Structure 1
């Protein structure tokens, strides 16, 4: 009965209503919030670039990013790469930071030149290592590393402002005008809705398979060192935040209630609250591993609920592969 009601609601309202709501209630405020938080982080670094002084504004910026950080469409398809270079199984971020500091590379004094530095040495994960890894974080106020922190935060703020502007001034209009004769990106309103729906499922899959799957590794060989943002203790925080964001996104895209999705999200929070180490460092303990696996299953439950409460209405059967780009 729920699915028939949802289908009736969708038929009674323009498909672009969901696109407009997703943009206005979730996507555009998300990028604006990230730009604001990144600017605040850069301003804080200008006043005091030491690691302890930047911890709180760094977390605020990362929290803001998590609201839209898994969106990979339009300007974010490539624009996100230098903001979040992860996974980094080969340690390119560490190598890039070590090289810059050892050479006292003057590239940090030139904003345009720094924009050409390897993406492994830029963005939130370069800051995560510089500010929270004890091999880097003890730098002095007047040191090269302190100036590097200032450049990294200024570069992040510039990237955030650019993404915010590209979405607000350009790509949002492409989504809103889906089906218009001059729109070569989305040939119908339904294509735009389906593209946004795909982003929601892709985010949940990434959280389940990478944010949790990477540190879980295998039963014989867990890999806690591969947890996302483990140095700053954000691994669990990011997994939950990304799931919260996916549900917020889904609720904005739908114009009907999603009670099963909300109930599934509650179970995610219950499972997360039982995990003791926010960086998954103890994942080699069987009991702790089980808790992370339970969280993984609960996130799968959110995905299943969204498939049933939104996907079926869109004509997409459960099991739809969000990586297909449909």
Structure 2
């Protein structure tokens, strides 16, 4: 298997997937039918085509559209500051967060090349680097922070959706609807322009004929991405499993992990804009939609396809629960009702991971003594 995962998102996952390939290499040579016994190989081409044309490409196009709208809204706010333009910019930010969250689960391919993922979203910030750098940028008079091209050459911590979350919702954001040519606003517009550029690049790369989309649709011995159908399906399951793991490990347990006495709401993603649970829901919606739009169930023997329905039901339950939690994370972690719901999110995400790894993965014969999950 030759696809990779970003270490910032799932370093353990990358190692375990590599171990899986090494462990099963002799099986390819000595037992060529080991995978084919359960994997419905004939369904693989149609599934991979749906992965690309039904989920990935539309997902990046939608993200590009929302990022462009965000850039326009920020530009309008800077040119004509007003309360209505401020509200419009924040609304556009919300839509961009949703669109990114949906496609963010695809942590393979062009998005992990040239640090594109981190340019769009630098999170989690384990060393606490971003806030000081963002505040320093806003306090400076350096015009290089107000141009997308020059901003792109600086630290990834100050040029993505996380940075724009601070610009629009952090301390001092009240100046945005009042002051024309506000340096903070111009910096925010440059961030939005950078995100727009990244989104456009990703959409273009996936739309390009003969490029990454063909590599995903046509596994084969001369394909540097997937050499055969089992590798392609393993790559698909990797997206699903590790996308769900990231929600649990990097999104929820970053700020809420009672077993370790960790309650840190200000470490939650998008806590300033109260979009934490919107982002979580978008991630899980992405997992659910990839499962259904790609018809992953068709890869399984008929008697094992029910596991996919189990996962989609858990995803719906997760989304409904997340949407009912108090949006203000600082308040949510103090309320018993919301804490119970956070526990439900952890439980549902864990079960989803097991069902995807052992249920779907095992159902297509790709786990044989190995789990995609991290065992936590």
TM-score (norm 1): 0.88
Shift in CA distance, 67/204, structure 1 to aligned 2, threshold 3 Å = same
Partner of 2:310: 260
Q: Structure 1 stretch 8-17 or stretch 107-116: which is displaced more?
A: 8-17
Shift in CA distance, 85/303, structure 1 to aligned 2, threshold 3 Å = same
Ranges in structure 1 where 5+ consecutive residues have no aligned partner = 1-6
Ranges in structure 2 where 5+ consecutive residues have no aligned partner = 1-35, 299-304
Partner of 1:100: 137
Partner of 2:284: 243
Partner of 1:279: 329
1:171-191 Cα offsets, whole Å, 9 max, x none, are 11211222142x222211221
Shift in CA distance, 193/80, structure 1 to aligned 2, threshold 3 Å = same
Shift in CA distance, 164/206, structure 1 to aligned 2, threshold 3 Å = same
Shift in CA distance, 69/58, structure 1 to aligned 2, threshold 3 Å = same
Partner of 1:121: 158
Q: Structure 1 stretch 88-97 or stretch 292-301: which is displaced more?
A: 88-97
2:230 equivalent to 1:195: no
Separation in 1 of the partners of 2:250 and 2:363?
28
Separation in 1 of the partners of 2:313 and 2:137?
48
Partner of 1:67: 102
1:141 is displaced (CA, Å) by 2.8
Partner of 1:291: 341
Separation in 2 of the partners of 1:273 and 1:120?
28
Separation in 2 of the partners of 1:126 and 1:149?
8
Partner of 2:214: 173
Match of 1:76 among 100, 103, 111: 111
1:22-59 Cα offsets, whole Å, 9 max, x none, are 11111110001001110111112222235433101111
Match of 1:34 among 35, 38, 63: 63
2:50 equivalent to 1:11: no
Separation in 2 of the partners of 1:316 and 1:20?
20
Aligned length: 317
Partner of 2:372: 321
Question: What is the SS of the residue equivalent to 1:247?
Answer: helix
Tell me the C-alpha RMSD between the 2 structures.
Answer: 2.5
Match of 1:206 among 246, 254, 274: 246
Separation in 2 of the partners of 1:14 and 1:273?
35
2:224 equivalent to 1:184: yes
Shift in CA distance, 245/274, structure 1 to aligned 2, threshold 3 Å = same
Separation in 1 of the partners of 2:72 and 2:138?
22
Separation in 2 of the partners of 1:272 and 1:322?
23
Does the CA-based 8 Å contact 1:130-1:136 persist in structure 2?
Answer: yes
Does the CA-based 8 Å contact 1:66-1:238 persist in structure 2?
Answer: yes
1:268-318 Cα offsets, whole Å, 9 max, x none, are 234335523453543144553232011110122222333355212321349
2:275 equivalent to 1:234: yes
Question: What is the SS of the residue equivalent to 1:13?
Answer: helix
Separation in 2 of the partners of 1:11 and 1:221?
44
Separation in 2 of the partners of 1:95 and 1:248?
37
Residues 210-221 of structure 1 mapped to structure 2, 5 A cutoff: 210-218=250-258, 220-221=261-262
Match of 2:127 among 85, 90, 97: 90
Shift in CA distance, 19/66, structure 1 to aligned 2, threshold 3 Å = same
TM-score (norm 2): 0.77
Shift in CA distance, 171/137, structure 1 to aligned 2, threshold 3 Å = farther
Separation in 1 of the partners of 2:250 and 2:314?
20
1:95 is displaced (CA, Å) by 1.5
Match of 1:43 among 42, 55, 72: 72
Q: Structure 1 stretch 276-285 or stretch 28-37: which is displaced more?
A: 276-285
Separation in 2 of the partners of 1:52 and 1:126?
18
Partner of 1:3: none
